[in-house]
Structure formats: structure tokens, C-alpha cells
Chains A and B, each alone.
Chain A
Amino acid sequence: MTTALLADDEPHLLSYLEEQLAQAWPDLRIVGRAGNGIEALRLVDELAPDVVFLDIQMPGLNGLQLAEQLCGGDGAPRVVFTTAHEHYALQAFEQAAFDYLLKPIRLDRLQRTVARLKEALAAPAPAADPAAAGMLSQLLRQLGVAPAAAPASAPLQWIRAAQGQETRLVAVDEVIYFQSNDKYTSVFTADGEHLIRTPLRQLREQLDAQQFWQIHRGVIVAAKHVEGTRTDFRGRLLVRLKGRAEQLVVSRNYVDLFRQM
């Protein structure tokens, strides 16, 4: 008897799929139901179903990541995606998975999938398709989903700043400049100043050098907030900032940065 696993984070959709499958494929034995990707992966390992029906967007692991982990090895289950995604990705889904179903799932469409599945399962098991794995990881990138193991050196996105009892989160995008300040680092945004404990030296390593320029031993400025430079009467180079009164001194070592400007 063919066994199946269903995975969807929306419980009503899960029971509805089960209901429809009972109609379209009365012989199918549903051995497990998962509400998230991690649980689904565990159940696949444990129950070794012949077919899995995977929702694309699930917490933990999404359907694509899950399929990527499943498609290697012998006896891998046939993957059918269930999705409400726009059709641009569907062709790729089709190539990487056995089939896909658009939500809301129609019974006649499901019956076609069932017929194809029955046919395929009667035939000998296919060799693992290495192209499918590549297709999936490409798809994952297209959809902007980080691969399972995210690179550790990703640039900093959020800065935690203590403000009284609270920990404020400041998006790195909002920062106008950082200024070293004794033991602390001042973070200036349009909303004001925040103090953080991370030393400037350490921050510099975590920031995207294309977007943040060090102009002084104690100052890192966001390139997009730089309006221009001017030279004062003492011959120092100063950076003018968009919409702000203060001007930041460029130390001699970093003057080359602005030579072309």
C-alpha cells in the first residue's frame, strides 16, 4: 500500500488535502502530518513514505529546502509541492519536483496528479537526479531564501543599543555615522544618538566596506549620507552630511578616499 506524508503549516489546508486525497486516492495511507519543515523531515526519516505533499512556505525549513534534503539517496519519496505562489516559479517547481498543485487545490487536478503518481510508483524507482538538487538550490536563491547553512560572515544588519531599560534595534541602513567615544561607540541616525559597547574596530569588520567608509580612526560614515567635502582654513578635509549641520574631519590617512570626488 502506498504511503504518504502531508506537510503544511496551515492546519485547515492540511485536513482539506487529506479529505481530498481520501476521495481521489482511497487506497493511499497517510502515515504522517507535519505542521512545519523540521517535523516533516523527521517524519520522512522515520516513516519513509512513498510520496510527500509539501507546502512551500513553512517555518523551520521551507518546502524547497526540505525537498533539497530529500532528493538525494535511494528510495527518496516523490515530492509534490502545494503552493499559492505565482506561476513564474512553477515551471522550475515542475522540473525539480514530481508535480505541483496550486492552492486552492481542485479535485480534478489532484486526480491527475494521483494518476501520474500511481503510474510512476508502479515503474521501478528512478535513479536520484543530481540535476534536481542544483535546480532547487538555484530556486532557493531566486526566492531569496538563505540556504540551510547561512554564511557566518554576512554583513551586520541590526545594531543593539541599550536605551534605559530597553534594547533598541537600529537598522544598519539607518545609520548616518559611527563615532568612537571612549569605551563606547556613538551611533548617529536621523532620530538621534545611540550608544553601543562594540568598539569601532570590531564594527568595521562587520560592516559592508562599500557602504561604510572609515574616514578617521574614530569615525565611520555611511557613504549614502555623504553630501560632499570641503577644505577648511587649516587645510583639513571635512565631510559634509546630507541634511545635517555637523561636519566630520577626514584624517590624513583616509584623504585618498575622496581624491576622485
Chain B
Amino acid sequence: MKNDDCTAPATTHPLELFAPFRRWPVSPARDLVYTLLWNSLIGVVLALCLWIFFGAPPARVLAGTLITSNIVGYLIHGMLVLLRRLVPATRKGWTSPAMRACRLLLTLSCAVFGLALSDALLGGHDPFQALVRGSRLAQMLPFGVAIALLIAAILAAGERRLAREMQAARQQEQMAEAARLLAEARLRTLQAQIEPHFLYNTLANVVSLIGADPARARHMLERLIDFLRASLSASRAEHATVGAELDLAHAYLDLLGVRMGARLRHRIEADAAVRALPIAPMLLQPLVENAIMHGLEPQVAGGTVVVRARVADGVLGIEVEDDGAALTHAPPRPGGGVGMANLRERLRTLHGPAARLQLIENPHGGVTARLLLPLETP
């Protein structure tokens, strides 16, 4: 159903120029009534013009202008209905330049023929006689051109309005999609980070340090609080800064640094200007977790995680580099790829093709995950 709406010919009735007339659903009967109203409106306006500029008594010309505008209007109406039936119902086909030109010419012929017809009806001439006689045609042609241009302009405006509405609807859909993915990412991150396994292991470390090294136990508990606070607030925030996301990653790496001891070294490289940039929350954290889980945890010797953020050529680049296990050697984990797939999907809905996620194999072992984001204009 949704698909049909997108491909249906985007056409509007000229009367839909006025917002109240957009209320009724599109149907052939409605369009017929609309055309009558539209024609009569033009007839009245025309009569008023004749009265104002040429002093013609309105009561006398009104009948003439009404008949003329209705004949011309219904001819054009019929022609458009016919055309729509003949041309394949794709939006592209209907709004292509060739189609527009064709429509313009047809409208012009209808207008001229309609003018001749009403002229004949009102004056008692033979309508075809009028068309072949150059002088009458020359008189009608400018009117015809004016009518054709008017109709073309109004139809084009209507199509533009429809296209805009469709675009807005699509954008809304995209925004809803982005919100859904964010909610999912939040849930996942919360589950992953405040997962019992992580929490218990961290707390077990704190307990083990209380007697032996109280200062370090306190430091670890403080970092855990930092981490919980940062992930809870990141999971609620719409917008974060690169700095806040780096702080979250830092707290996470600090905690794991205490737990893994000498097996984990980490570094965060970002200057103050980059830290102030806005970024969608929860884009960085899955990459850091992957570096630990797939890169360093399987390594007996451990390794180093470096998180880098910088701006180059108008692109915000964030890299998470580890010197641990190569991807192909990592044992497959159930659900392991879900985080990455979700991240890619979020990037697509947030930034479209402007955002990229690249995985690079480091020459000396390990993997670099690189996130390239367009600089958001605040």
C-alpha cells in the first residue's frame, strides 16, 4: 500500500492550490466538481477584468466568460484524464521534461480549440472555420498560450508540493527509524555494559583490592561510578559530544585496565577542539568493546588499545586501534556481529552515505575500526 502511494502519478487539481480543497480525498467525481468550480472562478475573474479594464457591463459578459472558461476547462480536464490513463503510472514518467512539454502542447491545443468552440457557440460561427482562418487564430493563440502556461505553472506547483510532502513523510519515517535504532542501541549498550558478568567481575576486583590495595580499590570504585553514570546518561541523551563519548570509553578502558593488569594498555588521543564536537551517542562504545572482546581478550599477551579522534578535510574521524588478534582468528561468537550491523544501520539512518565505518587490518597485527562522520553544523 505504501509503495503504491510512492509510485502513483503525483498530480493535483489546480483547485488544491487552496488548502481547504485538499481536505476531500481524490476521486474522479470530486475532480469534475472541482473543475466546475475552478472554471467558474476563472470566468468570474475574467468578467471582472473585462469590466474593470474595458468597462464592459459585467452582467452581459459574465455568461460569455463562464461558458468559455467551462468549455476550455473541461476540454483540458478531459485531455489530462485521458493522458493519465495512457501514460504508464510512474511518477518519473509523469514529471519527465518530455511529458511536461507534451502536456503543455496538448493544453495549448485544447485551449485554442475551446476558445474557437465557445466563440462559435456565442457568435454562431463555424468553429473549424475559425481555426483555419488565420486572423481568428492569431487572436486566440495568445489567450491559449496564457492559459496553457497558467495551467502548466499551477500543475507544476502542485507536483512540487506533493513531492515536498512525500519528502517530508519520508524524512519523518527516517527519523522514526533512527529513533528506533537508537533505542535499540541504548538497550543493547546498557545490557552489554551493565551486564551481570561485567559488573560482577568488576566488583570482584574491587573486593579483592579492598584489603591489599585500598587506594586502588577506591580508584576502581570511582571509575565504576563514572562509567555507570556516563553510560546511563549517554543512554538517555539525544546528543553527546565527542569528549563525553571519549570519557565513557576512558572509564571503560580504565576499569578493564585494572582488571586485566599488564595485559591492557590504553591511550586516548584527542584535542580540546575535537572533544567539543557534537556526535550521536553510543557510536564509539561498541568499537571499543569489540577491540577488547575480539582483539585483546583472546590474546595471552594482551596489547594496547588506542582511541583517536581528529578532524581532517571536514570529516570527523574516530579510530579504535588494537594490536591484538586478527579478525579471522577470532572464534565466532553468537550474536557477535549484531553490534556492528546495528552500528552500520544507525550510521545509515543518521547520516546516510556520508558516514562510513571501515575496518582495517593493521600491518603488525590487530585491527583498526575507523568511524568517519560528517561534521555536524551546530
Contacts and interface: CB of A to CB of B under 8 A. Distances in A.
Given A13-B204, A144-B333, A174-B344, A38 B300 contact: yes
Interface of B: 196-197, 200-201, 203-205, 207-209, 211-212, 258-263, 297-300, 302, 327-328, 331-334, 337, 340-341, 344, 348, 353, 356-361, 363, 367
Contacts of A158: 327-328
A13 B259 CA distance: 8
Interface stretch (A45-53, A163-171, A233-241, A248-256): A163-171
B360 A168 contact: yes
B261 A11 contact: yes
Interface in A45-104: 57, 59-60, 84-86, 102-104
A90 B216 CA distance: 31
A36 B260 CA distance: 11
A84 B196 contact: yes
Contacts of A86: 196-197
Interface in A149-191: 150, 154, 157-158, 160, 166-171, 173-174, 190-191
For the complex of A and B, the 9 pairs showing the least CB-CB separation, nearest first, are A16-B208, A104-B204, A84-B200, A169-B359, A144-B334, A103-B204, A11-B261, A167-B361, A146-B331
A13 B220 CA distance: 14
A60 B300 contact: yes
Given A9-B260, A9-B263, A167-B360, A84 B201 contact: yes
Contacts of A15: 208, 212
Contacts of B367: 169
Nearest to B261: A11
Contacts of A39: 300
Given A9-B260, A12-B209, A144 B332 contact: yes
Interface string A136-155: 00000000111000100010
B258 A12 contact: yes
Interface residues of A, number: 40
Contacts of A173: 337, 341
Contacts of B331: 145-146, 150
Nearest to A159: B328
A19 B201 contact: no
B259 to A, nearest CB: 5
A171 B340 contact: yes
Interface in A3-26: 9-13, 15-16, 19
16 contacts: A9-B263, A12-B205, A13-B205, A19-B208, A35-B263, A35-B300, A59-B298, A60-B300, A104-B208, A166-B360, A168-B361, A169-B360, A173-B337, A174-B344, A191-B353, A191-B358
Contact of A59 (B211, B299, B327, B344): B299
Contacts of A105: 204
Contacts of A9: 260, 263
A217 to B, nearest CB: 28
Nearest to B334: A144
A168 B362 CA distance: 9
A145 B298 CA distance: 12
Contacts of B205: 10, 12-13
Given A57-B297, A84-B196, A167-B361, A146 B204 contact: no
A208 to B, nearest CB: 13
Contacts of A38: 300
Contact of B259 (A10, A59, A167, A191): A10
Contacts of A104: 200, 203-204, 207-208
A117 B258 CA distance: 32
Contacts of B200: 84, 102-104
Contacts of A11: 261-262
Nearest to B358: A168
Contacts of B363: 167
Contacts of A150: 331
Contacts of B332: 144, 146, 154, 157
Given A16-B212, A104-B203, A168-B359, A10 B196 contact: no
Contacts of B258: 12
Given A169-B361, A190-B348, A12 B259 contact: yes
